[in-house]
């Protein structure tokens, strides 16, 4: 008398709102037969008219897919747990009759989908019924949202709080030049509505936080993580696991990308792969390290593809697989991912049971690693005029030096500073500068350790110099 059948949210209305039902052992077929005899309304949602399981419903015994066991002849015994997982976990797994109809205009628009057996009329109606939320409308969210809208996903949730910046345009193809300075949400909504007026957009003008994540993500079927920072990645992962939602994951850096689908209910989560974030500053962001503009186009498209497969319940998704793409070498590598039994979130003894402070978890918000005296751009301009002895050291890379420089500065990249200290006169005032004021602070540490005392760093770097002192110095 002790086999537990977990009932997913969309099916609970048909079983008197129970989230689990205890039943007797037997084969899966016998268990489901008993269940659907007792709860007759459930039958139409689980079974085809011929009694076979609907193909968008998966059944797992203790986290193993019965298709990898003996199918519905798989036996369950006392203590086993059965999970019924519609292909859109947490979302609607409506019977065909409950799917929305397509208008003549939609039939025409999606005709190349409709003649694909794997999509067809039912699949297209399933896409129309689906609700997908994108975290971010930047590099990854741009291609992903464009393809999902074009494909006819009925509702797209967009979470963003940023404005379009000129440096976004080389990769964030959702936004145009005319939108620079506008809210990304407004820009995205206008473009997506133009692409496909049948798509309903739900805009969330906010940063995703531990306070709002569960509330926002709860009403969606699939979450597409297009974020660009570790706190948000862990937040999305944890919220998805707690809500039982699949997370179409992608990340990019320079020429390399990653993609997977994390779905803790049936497979590994992001924490199974990366239990802890790297220490702050170890992995540079795209703003610091650069990114090839077309790369998020490739990775974001993979995320859109996986999202559509999850909705259709077709093909093999990236659940349990991590794709590593190297654009320079043009290689795709695939790693098998396993659910970590010790995962603090989805393992056997979870310690993360509610959303936490992700900034703190990722070591951000703490005291900066480097301290030192600073000078602002306007003060520096005055001092340079009055004190010709003042030495200005540019610790950026040669590539950055080629883009722009401050007159009179000497280039000594941060990595070369220790071996080039002999070029500096310790009796003179020294000011270090970089792009935005982080590396120049590290340079101060090097100089102070070597005995230099009259050293300061330009706050805000050459970026501040350009905006506050000399606009003829280009920003980048």
**Does 125 engage in binding with Zn ion (CB under 5 A)?**
no
- The binding track of 279-318 with respect to Zn ion, each residue x by CB under 5 A or -, is ----------------------------------------
* Tokens found for residue 451: 């005995």
**Touching Zn ion, residues 185-214 (CB under 5 A):** none
**Does 272 engage in binding with Zn ion (CB under 5 A)?**
yes
Q: Which is nearer to Zn ion, 353 or 387 (CB)?
A: 353
- In DSSP terms, 160 is beta-bridged to 205
Q: Which is nearer to Zn ion, 3 or 352 (CB)?
A: 352
Q: How many residues bind Zn ion (CB under 5 A)?
A: 6
3-class secondary structure, 207: coil
Can you tell me which of 7, 28, 102, 343 binds Zn ion, judged by CB under 5 A? 343
What gap in Å lies between CA 118 and CA 114, rounded to an integer? 9
Biggest distance spanned by C-alpha atoms of the chain: 91
Residue 269 annotated as catalytic: no
Shortest separation between residue 230's beta carbon and Zn ion, angstroms: 16
Q: Residue 136 class from Cβ within 10 Å (0-12 exposed, 13-18 middle, 19+ buried)? A: buried
Backbone angles phi, psi at 27, to 5 degrees: -85, 165
Choose the catalytic residue: 240, 269, 272, 286: 286
Q: Which residues contact 7 (CB under 8 A, 6 or more apart)?
A: 15, 18, 19, 20, 21, 84
**Does 245 engage in binding with Zn ion (CB under 5 A)?**
no
Shortest separation between residue 283's beta carbon and Zn ion, angstroms: 20
Shortest separation between residue 77's beta carbon and Zn ion, angstroms: 26
**Does 269 engage in binding with Zn ion (CB under 5 A)?**
yes
Q: Which is nearer to Zn ion, 305 or 343 (CB)?
A: 343
CA-based end-to-end distance of the chain: 67
Rg (CA), the chain: 27
- In DSSP terms, 411 is beta-bridged to 394
Binding segment for Zn ion (CB under 5 A), chosen from 45-53, 169-177, 344-352, 429-437, is: 344-352
| CB distance 81 to 61 below 8 Å | yes
**Does 439 engage in binding with Zn ion (CB under 5 A)?**
no
Residue 434 annotated as catalytic: yes
CA proximity to 146, closest of 127, 183, 172: 172
Shortest separation between residue 345's beta carbon and Zn ion, angstroms: 5
What gap in Å lies between CA 149 and CA 126, rounded to an integer? 14
Can you tell me which of 3, 42, 89, 346 binds Zn ion, judged by CB under 5 A? 346
Can you tell me which of 191, 271, 396, 435 binds Zn ion, judged by CB under 5 A? 271
Residue closest to Zn ion (Cβ) = 343
Question: For binding to Zn ion (CB under 5 A), which residues are involved?
Answer: 269, 271-272, 343, 345-346
Q: Give catalytic residues, as residue numbers.
A: 286, 434
């Amino acid at each position: 008398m002790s086999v537990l059948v977990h009932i997913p949210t969309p099916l609970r209305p048909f079983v008197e709102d129970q989230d689990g039902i205890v039943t007797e052992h037997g084969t899966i077929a016998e268990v489901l037969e008993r269940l659907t005899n007792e709860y007759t309304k459930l039958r139409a949602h689980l079974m085809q008219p011929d009694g076979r399981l609907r193909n968008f419903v998966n059944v797992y015994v203790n986290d193993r897919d019965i298709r990898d066991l003996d199918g519905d002849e798989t036996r369950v015994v006392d203590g086993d747990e059965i999970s019924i997982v519609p292909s859109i976990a947490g979302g609607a797994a409506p019977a065909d009759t409950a799917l929305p109809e397509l208008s003549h205009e939609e039939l025409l628009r999606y005709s190349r989908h409709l003649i694909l057996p794997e999509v067809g009329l039912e699949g297209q109606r399933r896409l129309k019924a689906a609700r997908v939320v994108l975290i971010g409308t930047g590099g990854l969210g741009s291609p992903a949202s464009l393809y999902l809208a074009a494909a006819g996903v009925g509702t797209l949730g967009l979470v963003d709080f940023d404005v379009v910046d000129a440096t976004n345009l080389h990769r964030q193809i959702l936004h145009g030049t005319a939108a620079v300075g506008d809210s990304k949400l407004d820009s995205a909504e206008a473009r997506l509505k133009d692409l496909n007026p049948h798509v309903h957009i739900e805009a969330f003008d906010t940063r995703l936080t531990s306070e709002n994540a569960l509330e926002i993500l709860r009403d969606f079927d699939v979450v597409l993580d297009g974020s660009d920072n570790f706190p948000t990645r862990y937040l999305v992962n944890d919220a998805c696991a707690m809500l039982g939602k699949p997370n179409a994951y992608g990340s990019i850096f320079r020429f390399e990308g990653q993609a997977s689908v994390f779905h803790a209910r049936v497979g590994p989560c992001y924490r199974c792969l990366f239990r802890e974030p790297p220490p702050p500053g170890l992995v540079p962001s795209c703003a610091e390290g650069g990114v090839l503009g077309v790369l998020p186009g490739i990775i974001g498209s993979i995320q859109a593809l996986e999202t559509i497969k999850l909705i259709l319940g077709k093909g093999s998704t990236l659940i349990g697989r991590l794709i590593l793409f190297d654009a320079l070498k043009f290689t795709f590598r695939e790693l098998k991912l396993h659910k970590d039994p010790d995962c603090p979130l989805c393992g056997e003894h979870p310690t993360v049971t509610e959303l936490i402070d992700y900034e703190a978890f990722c070591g951000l918000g703490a005291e900066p690693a480097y301290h030192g005296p600073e000078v602002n751009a306007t003060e520096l301009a005055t001092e340079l005029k009055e004190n010709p002895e003042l030495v200005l050291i540019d610790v950026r890379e040669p590539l950055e030096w080629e883009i722009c420089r401050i007159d009179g500065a000497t280039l000594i990249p941060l990595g070369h500073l220790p071996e080039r200290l002999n070029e500096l006169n310790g009796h003179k005032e020294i000011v270090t500068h970089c792009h935005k004021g982080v590396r120049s602070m590290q340079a101060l540490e090097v100089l102070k350790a070597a005995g230099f005392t009259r050293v300061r760093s330009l706050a805000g770097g050459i970026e501040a110099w350009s905006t506050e002192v000399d606009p003829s110095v280009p920003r980048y």
